[in-house]
Chain A
Amino acid sequence: MQALVVAAHGSHLNPDASDPTYAHADAVRETGAFDEVREAFWKEEPHFREVIRTLESDEVFVVPLFISEGYFTEQVIPRELRLDEWHPAKWDSDGTSASQVTLEATDVDKTVHYCGPVGTHDAMTDVIVQRAETVTEDPDVGEGFGLAVVGHGTERNENSAKAVEYHAERIRERDRFDEVKALFMDEEPEVDDVTDYFESDDIVVVPLFIADGYHTQEDIPEDMGLTEDYRLGWDVPADVDGHRIWYAGAVGTEGLMADVILERAADAGADLGDALEIVRANERAATGTDSSELESGTDTGAGAGAGAGD
């Protein structure tokens, strides 16, 4: 038997913080690839501390629903899961390359495959692009568009900037968007000045965050000048300094995230069967998009609007 644990932050104050975690875990549940699927949290229940003992499976794949390697993925989660043999060096990562490490959870007598965070997986690049497609409702979005990937920045000295730059570079190499930039909340180049960094009239802004919350729904929209007051909402697109800003909200709410979770588990040796195909097919059905059809010019009208934060 194999189990999947999706490990996320959660919140004591905001019930929406865990919504993406539940949604992606459910998407994986529906594939039937794992005998058990569990959400686990730092600030909600089940807590990291308790989750492994609620599983019957001997093989457990833990995928952190976090953006970057750093304090949570390297210290908090392994410590709270009681992975005694853990050491960050076992990931042998340069800050964005952690894949997995296999450890024994001695208190429960199980093998735990502790995976790198979703945010640094290569498949995340596709989710960012998909997010741009969703918010513009244009499966071919790219030409004439700039793309800004936005991260938190250097707070707590995490690798969050590295993750943002990593994906920005990968998207840039695809030559799909006219311009691709990595921007930050807490360091230069800052998202406040987003229009200074682009020549394109249209700019898609995708925050590399797991859940919508204070930063993505209050801070960033106000800082960018999309709205005076986040409570009033904003337009998508919104006009700012002669540019049209297509603000996408947290990338972690995109349905394709379930795909990244599965990829992480597969890299760690999980037997997925046809789970990846199922998740992708369900995702296409949910958004009404089909990239293969779309490339051949069929208009399916991408449905899911990205929510204007109101």
Chain B
Amino acid sequence: MADATTDAVDALSAALEDRADATIEFDGLSLERDGDEYVLETPEIDPRRVDADDLPTALDAVAAYATNWRYWQESVGGEGTYRRAFLRWCERAPIAQDGAGAPTEDPLAVPERYAALRDGVDREWGQLSITARFVDVAEPDGERVYDLWHVDDAGTDLAELEVSDDPREAREIATYDEDGRYRPLKTAPTLPSGWAFTGLSGDELVEAVEFFYPATVANWHRELRGNLDVDHWRETAERQTGIYDILDELPREAVDWVAEACCVDSQCLRRREWEYEAGDDLEPPGGDGPFPCREPCSLVIAAARQWTVLESEDERTYELELTPSERNQLEELIEAVADGRTDEIREADVNDGANRYRARYLRAKRFDDDGALEIRERSASADSE
């Protein structure tokens, strides 16, 4: 009998001693102590009575169940925590939960999981790719480790990646995007690639994931259990003080535009669960991210404060001279900036309205000496008379 199984058997017997009901039920394993005998059952074997002396041999036949139990109960622990639920999600284990909502479509039973963990079970969490695997593939003792890298690096050789085993390095990786720009929103889909964490323990994996995407696992777990507490726009806006006190003056329709500008999948991997208020949903869809967003984030709050100031102005009517192509060009310019596409427009691609030479030409032609568009304001004078 392998040492790992011996250890697991010892641990199981000890655990049974401590239990008032003398029963262990876990992931398909059922073991009950009845005097000097045990009743053992798994999905593969019918309940059978075993003598205390024969228990090690009997458990050896279902070693996977025993070592699986030991990994979850002794190495991971933390029953009911988001940490444990996340690690179980990682290997597609069933997640016991009070509320509705199954995070894993077809959860794997222990034998299937043990087969899969030899090759590694892959999961995606935003732009993170996670592999759960056995430490010892040849003779699995139930202990798992986890590898973590960018989804874009799935096919990249480890030798070409910056490899680390310190979860805290996730903080540095998450600070800048590929172009070296600061990422104030951790769930922006701009996480740079080129790194890998290997052989992390379960605790370390969760720590690293939390450094990449803070609080996402905790909120995902709440959502699973049906107790995600969503604060909608109005509650959040009304709570603000100081310079953010004005936020509740932002018009209702502008909140739609805020969500469309900031919270769509192209800008943020969180799935927006907050609406204008309960019963009054925003127009833009919440997105497809795996982790929910339970209230407007600080970046959205800061931007919305600016929009609140801007929206306090009255509209006016302006008149300016443009050819039809120039009008189209204005639209293309705004589109290109809004989609962050300006870097991709080739120098000589003068077909594109947002091409730099096209923009400079328009400026040369239409801007006056003060660097402003030549525009006449119509309504201000007309309306005031």
Contacts and interface: CB of A to CB of B under 8 A. Distances in A.
Contacts of A12: 184, 298-299, 302
Contacts of A46: 210, 214-215
A22 B167 CA distance: 13
A250 B334 CA distance: 41
A50 B242 contact: no
B271 interface: no
B42 to A, nearest CB: 31
26 contacts: A12-B184, A12-B298, A15-B175, A15-B182, A42-B298, A43-B184, A44-B184, A44-B298, A45-B185, A45-B297, A46-B210, A46-B214, A46-B215, A47-B214, A47-B298, A53-B215, A53-B218, A53-B219, A53-B222, A54-B210, A54-B217, A56-B78, A56-B81, A56-B83, A76-B241, A79-B239
B229 interface: yes
B182 A50 contact: no
Contacts of B71: none
B225 interface: no
Interface string B200-224: 0000000000100011011100100
A45 B239 CA distance: 19
A156 B243 CA distance: 11
Given A56-B81, A71-B242, A107-B229, A45 B219 contact: no
Nearest to A22: B171
A211 to B, nearest CB: 14
A13 B298 contact: no
B327 interface: no
Nearest to B221: A53
Q: Which of A41, A54, A107 has the most CB of B within 10 A?
A: A54
A13 B182 contact: yes
A26 interface: yes
Contact of A45 (B168, B186, B218): B186
Interface of B: 78, 81-83, 168, 171, 175-176, 182, 184-187, 210, 214-215, 217-219, 222, 229, 239, 241-242, 294-295, 297-299, 302
Nearest to B184: A12
Nearest to A44: B184
B188 to A, nearest CB: 11
Contacts of B81: 56
Contacts of B168: 26
B328 to A, nearest CB: 34
A133 B187 CA distance: 41
A51 interface: yes
A15 B180 CA distance: 11
Given A15-B176, A54-B218, A47 B78 contact: no
Contacts of A43: 184, 298, 302
Contacts of A50: 214-215, 218-219, 294
B225 to A, nearest CB: 12
A46 B81 CA distance: 18
B350 to A, nearest CB: 35
A76 B175 CA distance: 25
Interface string A53-76: 110100000000000000100011
Nearest to A36: B207
Contacts of A71: 241-242
Contacts of A49: 295
Contact of A14 (B182, B219, B229, B302): B182
A90 to B, nearest CB: 19
Interface in A99-145: 107
A47 B297 CA distance: 8
Nearest to A45: B214
Contact of A54 (B78, B185, B215, B295): B215
Contacts of B184: 11-13, 43-44
Nearest to A46: B214
B223 to A, nearest CB: 12
A22 B171 CA distance: 9
A107 B82 CA distance: 16
* 9 nearest A-B residue pairs (beta carbon): A46-B214, A50-B215, A45-B214, A12-B184, A15-B182, A54-B218, A46-B215, A53-B218, A45-B186
A277 B213 CA distance: 33
Nearest to A79: B239
Nearest to A107: B229
A13 B183 CA distance: 9
Contacts of B297: 45, 47
A91 to B, nearest CB: 18
Given A45-B215, A50-B215, A75 B298 contact: no
A26 B294 CA distance: 28
B202 to A, nearest CB: 13
